[in-house]
Structure 1
Amino acid sequence: MTATIAVRRRIVGAAAGLAAILLASIPALAADRCESMVQSDLNECARADYRTADAALNAVYVQLMKKVGPKTKEALRAAQKAWLSYRDATCALETMGLEGGSAYPMELSGCLKGLTDARTKALTAYLACKPDDVNCVGAFQE
């Protein structure tokens, strides 16, 4: 009975060790995929980069919405909705010639990321407004 318990403990310990090694290697695998010459890996890395940029944009947008007054919130919401339509239409246009090709997802994600990064920078600037700056969206407390 004691030998059986000892064997089980060794198996569980080995399994835990293997799991730890596998989990530790995930970031390395992700980095390797981004340096891959395989298009599907490049597509996934570009998609992940865009998702990161989109999350950053959403975080800044939420911060800004908390800072401004009700009238500005309404205007900001409308502007953001229009900007999202612009971004999506612009990237669809700019990648139109690649539709159906293996690099299309990578190029589309790259376009989306670039425009999203620019929008994040613009909204971040609004967060830095001084309260007495009558020309800065982030200062509108109405």
Structure 2
Amino acid sequence: MLLLAFALVASGELDRCLNTGEAARGVTTDMAACFVADFERADATLNVTYAKTMKRLPASRRAALRASQRAWIAQRDRACPLDNSPGAGTIERLNHPGCLATQTRRRITWLSRYR
């Protein structure tokens, strides 16, 4: 699982965050904050991309994209479940937002190509 979390280090800002302060020393709460901030940046980019995509579509296609986006959110949440079970460990605090960020970046790419 630890490999999964570190394999998700995709953005330069995430990399910089993980290499500074307590996160660089392996303090889980600080590392988790880096992953959460990375997801929040991806989510903000997703929202801008979605809005731009909606604006360029004809009205007849907007409802389909809206439905697709809602379905994607549910799919993303299924793909990135938060494991709160006993024994899951603190690595889940990195894996979960890392997974959300990865799924979100994939959707940004998809939205930017949507016609």
**Fold match (TM-score > 0.5):** yes
**Aligned match of 2:80:** 91
Structure 2 unaligned runs (5+)?
A: 1-16
TM-score, normalization: structure 1?
A: 0.61
Runs of 4 or more, structure 1, over 3 Å off, are 95-100
TM-score, normalization: structure 2?
A: 0.75
**Aligned match of 1:52:** 41
Which is higher, the Rg of structure 1 or of structure 2?
Answer: 1
The change in CA–CA distance for 1:68 and 1:109 in structure 2 (over 3 A counts) is same
Q: Residue 100 of structure 2 aligns to which amino acid in structure 1?
A: L
Corresponding residue pairs, total = 98
**Aligned match of 2:104:** 116
The Cα RMSD (Å) is 2.4
For 1:23-102, list aligned pairs within 5 A: 31-92=20-81, 96=83, 100-102=88-90
The change in CA–CA distance for 1:122 and 1:33 in structure 2 (over 3 A counts) is farther
Which structure is richer in relative contact order (CA contacts within 8 A, separation 6 or more)? 2
Structure 1 unaligned runs (5+)?
A: 1-27, 127-136, 138-142
Greater helix share, 1 or 2? 1
Deviation at 1:32, TM superposition (A): 2.6
- Once the two structures are superposed, residues 40-88 of structure 1 have per-residue CA deviations (whole angstroms, 9 ceiling, x without a partner) of 0011100000000011111100000111112211000000000000001
Q: Residue 71 of structure 1 aligns to which amino acid in structure 2?
A: S
Which secondary structure state, in structure 1, belongs to the residue aligned with residue 80 of structure 2? Answer: helix
